[in-house]
Amino acid sequence: MKNLFKLLAFSSRKVKAQTAVRRSDQRSISTTFTSLRKDQPEEDVVLEMSQQHSEIVFVTGNKYKLREFTQILGEGFPYKITHQGIDLPEYQGEPDEVSRLKCKLAYEIIKRPVIVEDTCLCFNALGGLPGPYVKHFLEKVGPDGLFKMLHGFDDHSAVAIASIAYCNGNVDKIKIFQGMTFGTIVNPRGGQRLGWNVWPFIPDGCDKTFAEMSPDAKNEISHRKRAVEVMRKYFLESIGHKSLSGAC
């Protein structure tokens, strides 16, 4: 475990800022939208893409992630979502920066509008770790090891973060759609699942881990659900704004 920590160069300042809420306020599930560049109107980014393409490529080598993403997205999204099964490198850095780097590389490979998604699990007692490296921690120590990392700490609170990064061609203006779910790290419970569903994590206001929930129940409160909803709202509102502006 010590060697694993030495390999990490994770800065927790941004995660701390995002999760600096009182514990009593963490009963509500929060969603945020951030933009890496704000000098261009949001609707212009969508217009540029819609003039050239009618689809967005979801780049991931994880079929489970793709299936759950499309289930959450459902009907009524204004663009067709297609898929390219590419395993992108696991970058180091803060959550938004990791998502940005993956999205930039995905666009350079595909040369079409793309989205990528990355998830993090941030322990407040550990200053944001394991963060975007949770996949590697799970591979090394498993869900039991994640729980035991907080042995000796009174604070078992955590936040699950899903970041969807979108690039329509300008890699300097990548958009980040982020969803957050606050909760508590517990002794692992539930059946064998894949990906972040094995996290020993109970969302605030619930009495079950993600692994114990049905897919429908989980998809109503998950960090991925929140991120997808922010993305959907962005595209729908941006397109609607341009349609109204054109009619005037």
CATH assignment at residue 145: 3.90.950.10
pLDDT digits (tens, 9 = 90+) for 10-45: 444 444 444 443 333 333 323 333 333 333 444 444
Q: Is residue 195 very low, low, confident or very high in pLDDT (cuts 50, 70, 90)?
A: low
Of the chain, the percentage scoring pLDDT greater than 70 comes to 72
Q: For position 43, what pLDDT does the model report?
A: 43
Give the annotated binding-site residues for Mg(2+).
90, 118
The average pLDDT across 171-182 equals 94
Q: In total, how many domains does the chain have?
A: 1
Give the annotated binding-site residues.
60-65, 90, 102, 118-119, 218, 223-224
Q: Is residue 191 very low, low, confident or very high in pLDDT (cuts 50, 70, 90)?
A: low
Domain span at residue 67 reads 2-247
Q: What SS3 class is residue 85?
A: coil
Token match 């659900």: residue? 225
Q: 33-38 — which CB contacts under 8 Å span 24+ positions? A: 33/176, 33/177, 33/178, 33/230, 33/234, 34/96, 34/176, 34/178, 35/175, 35/176, 36/96, 36/100, 36/173, 36/174, 36/175, 36/176, 37/172, 37/173, 37/174
pLDDT digits (tens, 9 = 90+) for 236-247: 887 754 543 333
Give the annotated binding-site residues for ITP.
60-65, 102, 118-119, 218, 223-224
pLDDT digits (tens, 9 = 90+) for 64-95: 888 889 889 888 888 889 999 888 888 888 88
The average pLDDT across 101-119 equals 94
Residue 103 has pLDDT above 90, yes or no: yes
Q: Is residue 196 very low, low, confident or very high in pLDDT (cuts 50, 70, 90)?
A: low
Mean pLDDT of the chain: 77
Residue 193 has pLDDT above 90, yes or no: no
pTM score of the predicted model? 0.75
